[in-house]
Amino acid sequence: MHTILKNTFGYDAFRAGQEEPIQCLLQGQNVFCVMPTGAGKSIIYQIPALMGEGLSIVISPLIALMQDQISALQMLGVNAATLNSTNSDDERQEIWDGIKNGAVRLLYLSPEKLMMGNMLEILKHYPIKLIAIDEAHCISQWGPSFRPEYEMLMGLKQHFPNVPIAALTASADEATRNDIIAKLFKGDVNTFISGFDRPNISLNVEPKANWKQQLIDYVHQKQNQSGIVYCLSRKKTEAAAAALNQAGFPALAYHAGMDKDVRARNQTRFVKEDNLIMCATIAFGMGIDKPDVRFVFHTDLPSSMETYYQEFGRGGRDGDPADAYMLYGLDDIRMRRMFIAQGRTSDAEQKRREYQRLDTLIAYCETPNCRRQSLLAYFSDSCEPCNNCDACNNPSETQEGTREGQMALSAILRTGQKFGQTHIIDVLVGANTARIRQFAHEELPTWGVGKAHSKPQWRSIIRQLVSAGFIHLDTSEFGGLSMTAKGKALLKGENNFSYHPTRLKAKSENKSRKQLSPETDLEPHQLDVFERLKSLRNTLARQSNVPAYIIFNNKSLRDMVEKTPQTLEDFADVHGVGQAKIKKFGEIFLKEINT
């Protein structure tokens, strides 16, 4: 297996967490692997698939993801194929011929394709040596990404009792993990959890004010870098892309309501081109294997910690520095709670879990402590303070806020517990609006008692009162605020409230956070070679109609620059260069390196 790792994949050693599950699969045992995105999950089933004879089945959720993985394997000299709705009759026949004569080593299928018609019965006639299930969190009904067609995979062991199964995912909390272990394996599995930390990703949350301007200000720091901007609605993705393009940043939109061909074309452009920004709903993401996404920006609060982890995990897959940046406001909480209340499920337990997941993410947004510690604790993992999040780099002291809490609760109570945040804040700061006058709220004793704080400060305080359970936020379209039992105790002086002041970033501070390219440590002449190698790689990728990283990723190009190989033997020592790539690209890259 070490020989295959070097000769096929071009790696000198396994990464942490890879070797032991591979050994289990080779011994015919089931494995369940939870590994961070970018940690090399695919190797765990690809190497056993290439050892000895037999066909390995890989279950994957999306055709685009399967095609990219197959292109990458074919570039390494591995015969892999997929059967799906895009195959022509001739292609299907060629693939089946390859399966029959043993030439095809890995067959990628969607769960629907595997379970459709008589596919299972047909495959039983072939020597199946391994079944791998990618994105395995989709199996669990407790996970936010549950897909009913994945649940059909629970019967695989009955059809293939002697075939080892590998289930792999980057994100699954304890309830989801236990559900997968029980459903898919009936408890008979070796579980490997390699941790959830992505230390190269900087974690940041900023109070939402003017989201378009905040997005543009942020992207100004990311000149010529690829990124993903997640938006809650289809309309907002279009607005975000238009705002970025108008500001001079190349951006595309992606959502389920777009023309299918336009959507596919935009996804292909994002994966294959450099320095593009994709503004998308959650419809975009699973299966996006672009390694050099330098930032993931959320204009709205995601639905859960798992969803957030999955989405920002699409950044920095190459291990180089990347940013996770989220805007967050009280209206986000209202919208998310409304979605749960009006959701498809009527199962009370399911709703309770969804509310719990949302509350955990809200607590993450409000924490004055290290964000990475808060994030990892959700997945039963831990770390020291990371010094790579806004809470570590811009610490905020907790302030005694019982008096402020009582002011806000008094304003809510005296106005009838039916008004939203904006009106309550207007009462607190003593605003003279038409709405204030309409209800004669300027005559209330609480009118103007909070003048010492600005409106943004009150927004933060009220948000923290909501997340701490003192105030109930109505999930109807009006978003009215009312007092909880805990809030009544605070108003009576029987409870205390502390808050941390909002971290409103100064523009100078934003500029100081400007992220440097991973190549800035190269000497000027090395940087020139690196850019030439990128250009060569991009030309070859266009000729082969594959994403550039499938030819060589940036880490391989940097290694070429630093090692300056002179011969094909030297070239074999470059990170990620196996025998097939030496034959395909060795001479042409050596010539460019030594020009």
Question: What is the DSSP pairing of strand 498-499 with strand 80-82?
Answer: unpaired
CB-side neighbour CA atoms (13 Å) of 132: 27
Tokens 């190459």 correspond to 318
Q: What is the mean pLDDT of residues 264-288?
A: 86
pLDDT in tens, 282-334: 878 666 778 899 999 999 999 888 889 989 999 998 889 999 999 998 888 88
Structure tokens at 495: 């409870």
How high is the pLDDT of residue 195? Answer: 83
How high is the mean pLDDT of the chain? 89
Residue 100 pLDDT > 90, yes or no?
yes
Adjacency order of strands within the sheet including 322-328: 201-207, 322-328, 293-298, 226-230, 277-280, 251-254
- pLDDT attached to residue 507: 37
Inter-residue long-range contacts of 49-53, CB under 8 Å, 24+ positions, other chains counted: 49/105, 49/106, 49/129, 49/130, 49/132, 50/4, 50/8, 50/78, 50/105, 51/1, 51/4, 51/26, 52/129, 53/102, 53/127, 53/129
Mean per-residue pLDDT, 163-186: 89
| pLDDT-above-70 percentage for the chain | 94
Rounded to an integer, what distance in angstroms lies between the CA atom of residue 140 and that of residue 147?
A: 8
494 Cβ contact list (under 8 Å, min separation 6): none
Sign of CA dihedral 64, 68, 71, 73: negative
pTM to 2 decimal places: 0.80
Q: What angle do CA 169, 280, 175 make, to 5 degrees?
A: 30
pLDDT, one tens digit per residue, over 192-247 is: 998 889 999 999 999 898 999 999 999 999 988 999 999 999 999 999 999 999 99
CA atoms of 148 and 48, how far apart (whole Å): 29
**Token code pair at residue 88:** 């022509």
Average the pLDDT over 471-499 and give the result.
84
Q: What pLDDT shows up at residue 89? A: 92
| Ramachandran angles phi, psi of 483, nearest 5° | -95, 135
Token representation of residue 428: 């607190």
Query: Which pLDDT does position 510 carry in this prediction?
Result: 40
**Predicted pLDDT at 288:** 72
Tell me whether strands 277-280 and 293-298 are parallel, antiparallel or unpaired: unpaired
**Strand ranges in 442-556 using DSSP code E only, listed in sequence order:** 471-473, 481-483, 498-499
pLDDT confidence tier of residue 501, bands split at 50, 70 and 90: confident
DSSP symbol at 261: H
Are the C-beta atoms of 473 and 337 separated by less than 8 Å? yes
* Calpha distance 273→547 (Å, rounded): 8
The confidence band for 382, taking pLDDT boundaries of 50, 70 and 90, is: confident
User: For residue 150, how many C-alpha atoms fall within 13 Å in the half-sphere facing its CB?
Assistant: 24
The rounded distance, in Å, linking the Cα atoms of 21 and 30 is: 9
Sign, CA torsion 40/44/45/46: positive
pLDDT for 145: 64
The residue-averaged pLDDT of 68-74 equals: 90
Please give the average per-residue pLDDT across 499-519, as a whole number: 50
Contacts of 520 (CB under 8 A, 6+ apart): none
CA nearest to 95, candidates 115, 111, 113: 113
Residue 514 scores a pLDDT above 50 = no
Q: For helices 371-378 and 348-366, what crossing angle results, to 10°?
A: 160
428-449 b/e with 16+ CB inside 10 Å = b?
bbebeeeebeeeebeebebbeb
Please report which confidence band the pLDDT of residue 575 belongs to, taking 50, 70 and 90 as the band edges.
very high
Strands 481-483, 471-473: parallel, antiparallel or unpaired by DSSP? antiparallel
Q: What span, in angstroms and rounded, lies between the C-alpha atoms of 36 and 169?
A: 8
- Which residue has tokens 């990728």? 541
Task: Provide the 3-class DSSP secondary structure of residue 109.
Answer: strand
- Judged by phi (left if over 0) then psi (alpha if -120 to 50, else beta), residue 52 lies in left
**CB of 501 closer than 8 Å to CB of 456:** no
pLDDT of residue 330: 84
Spatial CA neighbour of 317 closest among 56, 49, 68: 68
Nearest-angstrom CA–CA distance, 274 and 196? 28
Residue-range domains of the chain with CATH: 2-193 (3.40.50.300), 201-393 (3.40.50.300), 400-501 (1.10.10.10), 518-593 (1.10.150.80)
Listed in sequence order, the DSSP H helices in 273-401 are 305-312, 330-341, 348-366, 371-378, 390-393
